[in-house]
Amino acid sequence: MSFKVMSYVMSLAGSVLGLRFIFAGASLLKDWGIEVTDGPLVICRRLGAVYLGLALMFLLGRDAAPSDLRSAVCLGVGGISALLAGLGLFELQAGRVGSGIVVPAIVELVLAAAFVWTWWSDR
């Protein structure tokens, strides 16, 4: 998969996730079986800003030529995605979240693999 395609995927996914975390964090928390209180909602909104920042970064960098920085971005976001998937499954196993976390974890694993593939194909 090309970096440009992955950039568009991350721009779209980051925008959707960012807006959902900011404006519909309560529904996301309910999907995951987490009690909706002020604390988790504050974290949701802050995480939404991070996702929107990532979306913007990938949109603006979609035409970047192969470089050490582009490789670092691919591996960094791939690592973040794999870690998020692992943490989600760990929290599910520990009983702190509901089964609604499984689909996001699978998507995060696919994203992690796609970014590692993109990095590998650029080498």
State the residue for tokens 């959902």.
20
DSSP state of 32: T
Q: What is the pLDDT of residue 73?
A: 96
Q: What is the pLDDT of residue 123?
A: 81
**Please, what is the Cα angle at 19 between 26 and 49, to 5 degrees?**
100
H or E, element range at 3 = helix 3-23
Q: What is the pLDDT of residue 118?
A: 95
If we measure between CA atoms, which residue out of 3, 107, 20 comes closest to residue 59?
Answer: 3
Q: Which residues of the chain have pLDDT under 70?
A: none
Q: What is the pLDDT of residue 5?
A: 96
Q: What is the pLDDT of residue 70?
A: 95
Q: What is the pLDDT of residue 122?
A: 84
Q: What is the pLDDT of residue 1?
A: 80
Rounded to two decimals, the pTM is 0.90
